[in-house]
Amino acid sequence: MGSYDIGKSDVCKWIRERYSPESTILDVGACDGKWRKLLPEYTMDAVEIFPHYAKRLEGYRNVFVMDVFELQYDWYDLVIFGDVIEHMTIERAQTVLEYAKQHCSDMIVAVPFCYEQGIVDGNIWQMHIQYDLTPVNFDERYPGFEKLFYLSPDYCYYHLAK
């Protein structure tokens, strides 16, 4: 399992236009390391809750095998939540995103809409708790974001509204 491929080339172009390779990036829910592979020139750390996935992550400066809810960090230029918040309760996702807002210059949040998913390959953290996400309730639950790339009725990338 991993994040969806849809729109990733557009997001990488957007990142490269705004951030130099010296910028630091935190990849939350790194899973298969897709963002690391797509952006190899950046200094990137990873957070992955599922130890089996974390074992196969390569090329990151640091790999934190833990729940991002527990992670404390000073600063990243960019934090990427690629297909992550739908796996959390609304309250936990709000807490994690609010913390990140205070510890980064910008943030990308990718979400699938109205997508139910259960346990995958024995990984309970793959279950979608917020399977009811829509563009309307995303805006209600997570103020302070704007659409970066709205790719289909089923998927969107957001970033911090400036």
pLDDT of 86 reads 85
Residue 31 backbone zone (phi > 0: left; psi -120 to 50: alpha; other: beta): left
* Separation in Å, CA 43 to CA 40, 95, 116, 151: 8, 25, 33, 27
Partners of 147 in the β-ladder: 158
Per-residue pLDDT band for 64 (boundaries 50, 70, 90) equals: very high
> What is the C-alpha to C-alpha distance for residues 28 and 82, in angstroms, rounded to an integer?
7
C-beta neighbour count of 72 within 10 angstroms: 6
For residues 47-55, average pLDDT: 84
Question: How is residue 58 written in tokens?
Answer: 């390569």
CA dihedral 137, 141, 145, 150 (to 10 degrees): -20
Query: Where in the chain are the domains?
Result: 8-160
Q: Which residue has the higher pLDDT, 161 or 143?
A: 143
Average pLDDT over the chain reads: 88
> What is the C-alpha to C-alpha distance for residues 109 and 149, in angstroms, rounded to an integer?
11
Per-residue pLDDT band for 114 (boundaries 50, 70, 90) equals: low
Indicate yes or no: pTM above 0.95.
Answer: no
Q: Which CATH architecture group holds 8-160?
A: 3-Layer(aba) Sandwich (3.40)
Instruction: Please determine, for residue 107, whether its predicted confidence score (pLDDT) is greater than 90.
Output: yes
Coil, helix or strand at residue 35: helix
pLDDT of 1 reads 44
Per-residue pLDDT band for 42 (boundaries 50, 70, 90) equals: very high
Partners of 104 in the β-ladder: 76
Question: How is residue 120 written in tokens?
Answer: 């995958």
Partners of 76 in the β-ladder: 104
Alpha carbon 138 to chain centroid distance? 15
Strands (E) in the chain, as ranges, are 24-28, 43-47, 63-64, 76-82, 104-112, 145-152, 155-160
